[in-house]
Structure 1
Amino acid sequence: MKKSRKVVTRRVGKYEMGRTIGEGNFAKVKFAQNTETGENVAMKVLEKGTILRNRMVDQIKREISIMKLVRHPNIVRLNEVLASQSKIYIVLEFVTGGELFDKIAHQGRLGENESRRYFQQLIDALDYCHSKGVYHRDLKPENLLLDSQGNLKISDFGLSALSQQEDGLLHTTCGTPNYVAPEVLGHKGYDGAASDVWSCGVILYVLMAGYLPFDESDLVSLYRRINVADFSCPNWFSASAQSLISRILDPDPIKRIKIKEIRDHEWFKKNYEPVQLYEDKDINLDDILAVFNDAEERYVSEQREEKETGPLMMNAFELITLSQGLNLSALFDRRQGYVKRQTRFISRKPAKVIISTMDAAARLMGFRVQTRNYKMRLEGLTTNKTGQLVVALEVFEVAPSIFMIEVRKAVGETLEYHKFYKTFRGRLEDILWKPIHEADKSQLKRTESR
């Protein structure tokens, strides 16, 4: 007999909230549905108290303002911002195709034409940002999402800057080491547009090579190579691609190619299709000001409903989204080596057995384990012991006695999470559901049609 638990279902204004699909140090991202339109959205939830304690009000306000300012088909869209007495809700476009990083990690290097298409979309979106005075400052494949049609979407403007200082330069050292421009490391001020272009060059190299142009085990050696642009292109890069990349990865930001020149380069122009921009409307920031000014008359309603149940049964709209239509076979991860920031597998073992098996596996790997109901949080160090890795897990019931376990990276580098997941999954053989027989497939189809 299943042990029951209290599950809280939540509605925020017109949005019905579902499972957690991402999290970081200061926010969680929830799957949600607009009950008036049926649109699926991603809802970033921030605790006001946490923002205040960590003195992040200005940073969050800047991030929200920037995302509202940049309306481009290749940038994740911000729909609206809501607030209650204790929380801020940022309602974002729900992008279903995963990270570009996942595609590279699974597939390896991409072909030149496919790489060019992503790069063209990246440059289009970045050119638009710069025209609005916005500099991203943390461009990398993990922050580039793909929609259901395979189009690129820039996300995560948490480190972006709106305007430069009086000297025309930015002064905050930020970004991800392998993708950061050499002048950012110099602590003397840098041009935001030029540093973004450098990051795009590293991304293009990774797309076409399948590995980084600058990659060392220690930061001193890494920065030394970046400062002199010590890299070489593989022999499968075309001469035209090598020409463009060498001009982008110029350590001198003054000599580095500009976006206009990138657009004029012969490699970039091949098969280029200009994006259709949205209608340019006046941007109203009143809702953002209301959120941060604690305008109580604009607080959104919050409803909570508690019910006794076992592992959380997924809402129909969540199942349909996860299963890419109405084909539940997409929930079954048969590709043992394929890891994403958010990965799922299926088990037919009892939920308590699943939890205890994962608990034991994580502890054997040296992780601290916190378990609450059918959710787990694992905290530990990366394989090289230099950083923190936090992993969240949750057990869902998708059909009677069929459970889906969702594993996602909460904090840490994506590559370290990949290493963790492959080892962790190897310790779970006793609870994994092996490849589905045809009889099981037909049973699932009957279940989903009810």
Structure 2
Amino acid sequence: MMAESTVDEKTPAKVIFGNYELGRFLGRGSSAKVYQARHLPSGDSVAIKVFPNPRRPAGHPASASDSFIREISALRRLRHRHIVRLHEVLASRSKVYLVLDHAKGGELFSRIENHGRPSEALARRLFHQLISAVAYSHSRGVFHRDLKPENLLLDEAGDLKVADFGFAALRRSSDGDHLLRTQCGTPTYVSPEILMGKRLTDGYDGAKADIWSCGVILFVLVAGYLPFNDSNLMSLYRKIHRGRHRCPRWAPPDLRRLIARLLDPDPATRISIDGILRDPWFAQGLDADQRAALMRPLVDEQKPQHHAGAGQLNAFDLIAFSPGLDLSGFFAEGETADSDRERFTTFEPVDRVLDQVERVGKGEGFVVRKEKEEEKEVAASTVVERQNGELIVRVEVYRLAGGVAVVELEKGGGGGGAFCREKLRPALCQPLGGGRWPQV
């Protein structure tokens, strides 16, 4: 454990952990402070979120209510162009530090507050990016539960980054029940079923709750004000339960219909992600391939480049795959290290592995496509997904010295766990050409 540098809002330490030079104070949340910082080895600008690290008796499990545990557990599953990326987790005796993307454009809330509502075209583009991030999160079993303009950041290009997963809920299994029961979120953005709390005996669907919040955000983008607002909290709740809102007169009919379907107080009839993707207002200017691409994550360009240009990993790089060396793994409360990923090694040629993935995936009626090889240590990356772009599994092959390779399966939602367990894993674990498949 490295010695901790004192972090204070007024006089932050210049350098922490030898790697990060802290800059200006960016803001304060309910349980953390955020600073701009510079990663000294690369010179990149990052944001560092600083949480007090609660002291617990030895062997006492972390509380699921701790926002930093929720945030780490969620962000370690997510890798998407419109979601703030968790680069590193550091800890001292009294604090936990999350190293995140620095969104230089600030909060979407501030942008609306300072410049007014955006144009319809810009609102549509931002909503495309929001739905892309939310759909991907849901496919990875992560439900945000506190979507609002204050938690939507803008980068230097004006593109959206979803942040602050402190209220996130994680599905324990790719195929399991994901009904939730915890009341959380911001009242003006929270769905009616969350407000019901204990009265909703069967729980609520985290995906439908997020879609409601997306509807409120779209309304704010278009109108510049909230669809449901009242100084009296009980009156506000009644308005939300009724779902009655009045769109501004300048909103076109297609947009009004979409907002009404998003702000349907009945989650059973509320529009789904697939419905949003097919909606005329949302789909304006998008072809089928572009709509499917909204569901796809960006190939990870931010993993450490172990040996840039070498194209192979050695034994030390293989050790880095171990979850025991990833500090974020210590905070994944309630999860196993391989809940959404598994790895094994093979002596088989890469093309044979990928041919088998393609055969099994297409045999189940899925789309199989190769991704760009943007990471030099990745020999190949192939994605199996549904026709609508929902991730089933990503297969990445990493080269090792001596003709060995590591195969990593990153499972998505919507049957990803079952597909890997029942179809893909058995097929890949059968030697394709006389090779061996030792476990990592």
- TM bracket, shorter-chain basis: 0.5 to 0.7
* Pair 1:290–1:159, CA change in 2 (3 A): closer
> How far is the alpha carbon of 1:164 from its aligned partner?
6.6
In structure 1, distance between residues paired with 2:321 and 2:188: 35
SS class of match (1:32): strand
**Are 1:135 and 2:174 matched, yes or no?**
no
> How far is the alpha carbon of 1:279 from its aligned partner?
2.7
What is the total number of aligned residue pairs between the two structures? 289
* Pair 1:205–1:283, CA change in 2 (3 A): farther
> How far is the alpha carbon of 1:65 from its aligned partner?
1.9
| Contact 2:12 2:22 (8 Å CA) reproduced | no
The 5 A counterparts of 1:236-315 are 236-272=250-286, 273=290, 274-275=293-294, 277-279=297-299, 285-286=323-324, 287-288=326-327
**Amino acid aligned to 2:189:** Y
The percent identity for this pair of structures is: 48
Q: Which residue of 1 aligns with 2:190?
A: 180
* Pair 1:285–1:216, CA change in 2 (3 A): farther
In structure 1, distance between residues paired with 2:74 and 2:29: 20
| Contact 2:145 2:167 (8 Å CA) reproduced | yes
| Contact 1:109 1:208 (8 Å CA) reproduced | yes
**Amino acid aligned to 1:91:** V
In structure 1, distance between residues paired with 2:186 and 2:11: 41
> How far is the alpha carbon of 1:69 from its aligned partner?
1.0
SS class of match (1:179): coil
In structure 1, distance between residues paired with 2:11 and 2:214: 47
| Contact 1:95 1:148 (8 Å CA) reproduced | yes
Match among 83, 87, 93 for residue 85 of structure 1: 93
SS class of match (1:17): strand
Q: Which residue of 2 aligns with 1:195?
A: 209
> How far is the alpha carbon of 1:31 from its aligned partner?
1.7
| Contact 1:127 1:259 (8 Å CA) reproduced | yes
**Are 1:33 and 2:33 matched, yes or no?**
no
**Are 1:45 and 2:50 matched, yes or no?**
yes
Q: Which residue of 2 aligns with 1:370?
A: none
| Contact 1:134 1:161 (8 Å CA) reproduced | yes
Superimposed CA distance per residue, residues 357-380 of structure 1 (whole angstroms, 9 cap, x where no aligned partner): xxxxxxxxxxxxxxxxxxxxxxxx
> How far is the alpha carbon of 1:83 from its aligned partner?
1.9
Superimposed CA distance per residue, residues 268-303 of structure 1 (whole angstroms, 9 cap, x where no aligned partner): 11134545632379997542356559xxxxxxxxxx
Superimposed CA distance per residue, residues 307-347 of structure 1 (whole angstroms, 9 cap, x where no aligned partner): xxxxxxxxxxxxxxxxxxxxxxxxxxxxxxxxxxxxxxxxx
The 5 A counterparts of 1:6-405 are 9-49=14-54, 59-163=67-171, 168-187=178-197, 188=200, 189-272=203-286, 273=290, 274-275=293-294, 277-279=297-299, 285-286=323-324, 287-288=326-327
| Contact 1:183 1:190 (8 Å CA) reproduced | yes
| Contact 2:171 2:177 (8 Å CA) reproduced | no
Superimposed CA distance per residue, residues 17-70 of structure 1 (whole angstroms, 9 cap, x where no aligned partner): 223222234322222111111001111122324788995775422310211211
| Contact 2:106 2:155 (8 Å CA) reproduced | yes
SS class of match (1:13): coil
Normalising by structure 1, we get a TM-score of 0.59
SS class of match (2:188): helix
In structure 1, distance between residues paired with 2:177 and 2:64: 25
In structure 2, distance between residues paired with 1:174 and 1:74: 23
* Pair 1:168–1:64, CA change in 2 (3 A): closer
Unaligned runs of 5+ in 2: 1-9, 304-319, 333-440
SS class of match (1:16): strand
Q: Which residue of 1 aligns with 2:402?
A: none
SS class of match (2:50): strand
| Contact 1:51 1:57 (8 Å CA) reproduced | no
SS class of match (2:255): helix
Unaligned runs of 5+ in 1: 294-450
Q: Which residue of 2 aligns with 1:413?
A: none
Superimposed CA distance per residue, residues 416-441 of structure 1 (whole angstroms, 9 cap, x where no aligned partner): xxxxxxxxxxxxxxxxxxxxxxxxxx
SS class of match (2:23): strand
Aligned-CA RMSD value: 2.8
Higher relative contact order (CA 8 A, sep 6+): 1
| Contact 1:68 1:283 (8 Å CA) reproduced | no
**Amino acid aligned to 2:327:** I
**Amino acid aligned to 2:191:** A
> How far is the alpha carbon of 1:150 from its aligned partner?
0.5
